A and B are shown apart, each in its own frame.
Chain A
Amino acid sequence: MKHTMKHIADFLAPPSGRRTVAAAGIGLLAGLALIACVSDEPLRAWLILLSGAMPELRQGADGGWHWQRLVRFGTVLEDTVNLTLLGLAVLIPFRARQFALGADGQLFLGALAGAVVGLAWPGPGWMALPLAAIAALLAGGLLGGATGVLKWRYGANEMVVSLMLNLIAIECYRLAITRWLRDPDAGFPATPFLPPAASFTPWIPDTGVGPMLLAAPLAVLAVALLLGRTTLGYEIRVSGAAPAFALQAGLPVGRATVLSMALGGALAGLAGFHIGHAVLGRLPVDLAPGLGFEGLLVALLARHQPRAILGAAFFYAWLRAGGQAMERGSDVSREIALVVQALVIVLVMAERWPWPRRWLFWRAA
């Protein structure tokens, strides 16, 4: 009996992979409980939440098999790409122990830079997309680097500075679109549609899912390699794990800090490029901020491990689409998905669970 109790106690603090999955499960069940408080048909609503994003294979009138709800699933894939990039954007600075919250602003500026190049590039068409991507990477990288420099040179806390830069960057975006990039024919303030040379051909029709889908796993691989196998990644990790030691050992801590935030910013900028060129095709002035914080959630969910980011991003995007389906198909509003996510993170974040363990041991003793 004692042995069993010990096993249970040990299970409650098992290695991370198992625990994250368990936490996700508990979070979803807690979501069910919360839904039950506000809904007349909780189980049905909950099931829509879990399955709403799934595309269906149905037999059509012509006897052939067709995919249904592909557009919704396409949204899930688009979101996954965004969230992967944004999660990585938070992850890299975090490994250097920098809590950079500037992904939103970097995304906006990256989208803007990419759109400017896409709209104004006069040269050969095949160069438009790569150049726009580079412009987005640079814009986001510079913004992130600015936060890093302010921290390194002047000790300005990066949490607050990055949030402030967000606000400034978003205003710059709005200014540029209302003043200089506005499409006079559009019904609402937005840029003109990007020319075909600067656009992606979608793989799933009517969605933004195209070649950029590959950006997610490639970015994960790149970041994992960076952190694990390069000297810069080593510098970033050591600066984060033991800053005093890194300084004393002669590691270029300041440079690593700045570069970690610049690289994170570049990835966030790339996410902006993805939204502008792959998903929306043009940039509206009222693009909603907040995506950067969802990237933060994904990074927390993945416990800041690159290999887990893809799964965490997909889980988040899946739940979000499920939430939207649930809202349409039942009486529960979709923010429950956000609550579930935050709960899962809270569960994942704890290093230990003292009470059940102590209680179990006490009973077993």
Chain B
Amino acid sequence: MNPSPLRLELRGVGKRYPNGVLANDGIDLQLARGEIHALIGENGAGKSTLIKMLYGLEQPSSGAIVLDGRAVAFDSPAQAIRAGIGLVPQHVQLVPSFSVARNVTLGAEPARWGWLNHGAAARAVGELARRFGLAADPDALAATLSLGQQQRVEILKALYRGADLLLLDEPGAVLSPDEAHALFTALRTLADAGMTILLITHKIADVLDVADRYTVLRAGRVVAHGASSEASAPGLAAHIVGRPLAPAQRPAPMPAGDVLLRVRGLRRATGVAECLDGIDLDVAAGEILGIAGVEGNGQGLLARALATGVGVALVPEDRLHDGVAPTLSIAENAIASTYDAAPLSRHGWLQPDAIDAATRAMIDEFGVVAAGPDQPIGALSGGNMQKIVLARALAGQPRVLVACQPTRGVDIGAARFLRQRLLALRAQGAAIVLVSADLDEILELSDRIAVMFRGAIVGHFRGEGQDARALAGYMTGARRQDGASARIDAPFAAAGQEAA
């Protein structure tokens, strides 16, 4: 039988969920052996669903998946793994108390009659790491690794299972520019050795830097595809968004206000990877302080620490866990910051009419798509849920707002709305701390930017006129501003060029 030159082909693949949502619609895709293919699109464009179908976590409702010329259907990841497909997920899925070797060999441990062979596992992992240039210590505990190292373990996991088709889901999201560069070099090595790679991303740079070919998804459909060598950033951006992008509107500069939040010498030790090592920062009325940095350098910890004051509201990072109570109604969620005062309650008694009216007003003002205030909030989409989260945070008239990853996992329209609300809040004179792994968002919204690395502030920048490359060196710890802090009067770092 002639082996098909195409390793993977998708013919008209579609997915309609039982609740009616059409996530993928008639997707056609071709991947040749040894090709690095970028699947690019915005949040909510349907990329994750496609990956789940390729890995057996979901089943297509129409169309065919063709592997090496034969149609396949996967009911579980185990089947996909057997067919040589490996998934490197966006959120690492490691067992924290297991070692690297144990994690890599999870599910396929070298063993004799059920008795584990620790030595063989460590040796196999070491061998793989050497072969593909992915540095890893087989005996290190997964809980002690950085996010970049953890991701490398995920790749080793897929390689150990004999994958020759790798699916990488947003790999660059948690990596510093340097670590991302190292990853792409490794991917190139893998591809040259015959590995086929499907890279899911929302960053245009990934397409241009490492991919051979690309496919653009928008609203569940393929809208463009071709060779990367022939693509351009503006062209891709237009395809992703569907119309030529207007250049980002920077907010008008505001007169300096009083410092509303002052932090000196903040330290936290959690005993695990993240810590805070002496943070000094100020935020003034009417300004947005952006906290940039590779995820896992203490930003989440900082956000939680800042939010424990009176008059400080938080939009938490983990929406489903900390941001909402999924089984309770929209109204019960919406009043969480204002329930213990008039008009929503009097002398400890809740006022149902006032609560209903307030929730309806919130729903209208924020354009939330919902059946009514009594609908369980878990039924809403991510974007609508986040709107309620922000609305609730704002309902308490906070003087300081800490927004942690406010537009993550949110569709474009809702994200734009949320950003506008942040700017409106800024115009009203509140002080905002914006923690975001989306560098574009930081650059678009911040008046001042502080870069965090390993729990400390290593660079302080003016928000206006910055670009990503200037910050990159600081984000990886390659460059460090002496005595950096985010005090209102702290000096700005010299805008650096790309780190060596």
Contacts and interface: CB of A to CB of B under 8 A. Distances in A.
B348 A241 contact: no
A238 B350 CA distance: 14
B245 interface: no
Given A229-B349, A241-B327, A248-B316, A234 B322 contact: no
B179 interface: no
Nearest to B337: A249
A244 B321 contact: yes
A245 B349 contact: no
A251 interface: yes
Contacts of A238: 325, 328, 332, 336
Given A241-B327, A248-B316, A230 B322 contact: no
A213 interface: no
B340 interface: yes
Contacts of A245: 321-325, 336
Contact of B350 (A234, A244, A250): A234
B355 to A, nearest CB: 10
A251 B322 CA distance: 12
A249 B328 contact: no
A163 B380 CA distance: 41
B405 interface: no
Nearest to A252: B340
A189 B483 CA distance: 78
A248 B352 CA distance: 24
A250 B349 CA distance: 19
Contacts, number: 54
Interface in A96-148: none
A204 B169 CA distance: 74
Nearest to B313: A250
A241 B349 CA distance: 20
Contacts of B318: 244
A242 B348 contact: no
Nearest to B318: A244
A332 to B, nearest CB: 42
Given A230-B348, A231-B345, A234-B339, A241 B328 contact: yes
A225 B350 CA distance: 10
Interface string B352-378: 100000000000000000000000000
Interface in B299-334: 307, 314, 316, 318, 321-328, 332
A242 B350 contact: no
Contacts of B322: 244-245, 247-248
A308 interface: no
Contacts of A244: 318, 321-322
A12 interface: no
Nearest to B350: A229
B350 A231 contact: yes
A161 interface: no
B336 A232 contact: no
Contacts of A232: 348
Contact of B325 (A230, A231, A242): A242
A249 to B, nearest CB: 4
15 contacts: A229-B352, A231-B348, A231-B350, A234-B339, A237-B328, A241-B328, A242-B325, A242-B326, A244-B318, A245-B323, A245-B324, A248-B307, A248-B323, A249-B392, A250-B337
The 3 closest A-B pairs by CB, nearest first: A242-B325, A249-B336, A248-B322
Given A230-B349, A238-B328, A248-B314, 12 more contacts: A229-B352, A230-B350, A231-B339, A234-B335, A241-B325, A242-B328, A244-B318, A244-B322, A245-B324, A245-B336, A247-B322, A248-B316
